[in-house]
Structure formats: structure tokens, C-alpha cells
Amino acid sequence: MAVIAIVLLGMKLKSNSAVLLVLCGGFWGLLSQSLFMLIFQANFGNLYYLVGAAVGTFLFGSAAGSLMGENFNRKWQILIPSAAFSLIIVFILLGSSGVRMPMAVFFLVFMLSGMISGVVFGGASKLKLSGGKIYAFDLFGAAAGAVAATIAIPTMMPVAIVLEMAVLIIVLSCIIFIKN
């Protein structure tokens, strides 16, 4: 359902597909952080003393991704790291099903998820949009991600399905962004 909504929104925002891209980046960022923290807590039993480290790692990834995204000369280049980082995360999480992952792997996942949000934000910032507008749609996306996490976590949706949906949204939004 979310994928259909993103495609329809993309068709409506043809002239401003960068807004859609940033909206999806914010959605991915908050949804992935919420779910990864839940998985982290399930693996290690306690998260509270490491929340700052997890959020800091995500933010470091966001900053690095944003700098990376600003260096691209062509729109299609945004798709490559977004898709690659997304697939790495999915393979790590699916490949470790039922296996306790080392803490360093979780911090890698936090950093890569931040890089996905950062790459799309940095790429969109090269277009003729105001910083305030880009930031506002990033926050709107994050708010939607918070709602999605609130629905997904209590209903115990399989994390892999939610992550795959989020990855698909990012890839679709990049494709719409490139085509417009």
C-alpha cells in the first residue's frame, strides 16, 4: 500500500520529484532506526546505555551520505549507493536470522541506514529547492516513518517485510526522481 502511495505521489510531483525523494529518505531514516533499535534490544537485552551511540552512528552515516550525495553530477548516481546500502542491510538482517550478530555489525547497519537518508538528502539539495523546503519534507517523511514504526512494532510485522518495503520505497523514489 505504501509503495502504491509513493508511486502515485511521484506521478503527481513530476515537476518536484526531489521533494518525493527527500520525503522517502526521511521515512526510511526513522522507520529503520526504530526497527533496528528493536532488533538490537532483542539481541543484547539492553539498549538504553547505547541509544546515544546508535543515534550518533546513524547521524554520522547521514552526514557522510549527504556529502556523498552532493558530489554526484547525475541524478541516476543517487540510485547506486541507496540501492547498494539497502541491499547490504537486508542481506545482513536476513542472513543473520536466528543468529546473534556482533554489536559492531549493528553499528554498521545503523551507519548504512543513515547513509541512505543522507545520500538522497544530499542529492536533492543540489537541485533548485530551498534548504527549508528540503528539510521540511525530510521531517514529514520522518513523521510518516514514526507512524509506520508505531503500527509495525506492536503488530509484530516481520521485520524483514517492513525493511524490504522501506528499501522498495527508496528505490522507487530514486527511479521516479531520475526519470523526471
67-117 pLDDT, tens digit each? 888 887 777 777 777 777 777 777 777 666 656 778 888 888 889 889 888
Contact 93, 79 (CB under 8 A): no
Q: Rounded to an integer, what distance in angstroms lies between the CA atom of residue 123 and that of residue 77? A: 9
Check: pTM over 0.75? Answer yes or no. yes
The pLDDT of residue 124 is above 60: yes
What is the CATH number for 7?
Answer: 1.20.1250.20
Give the model's pLDDT for residue 154.
Answer: 65
HSE-CB of 136 using CA atoms within 13 angstroms: 6
With 80 as the cut, is the pLDDT of residue 143 above it? yes
Total count of domains within the chain: 1
Show the domain range for 166. Answer: 2-179
Residue with cell 555489525: 105
Does 4 score more than 70 pLDDT?
no
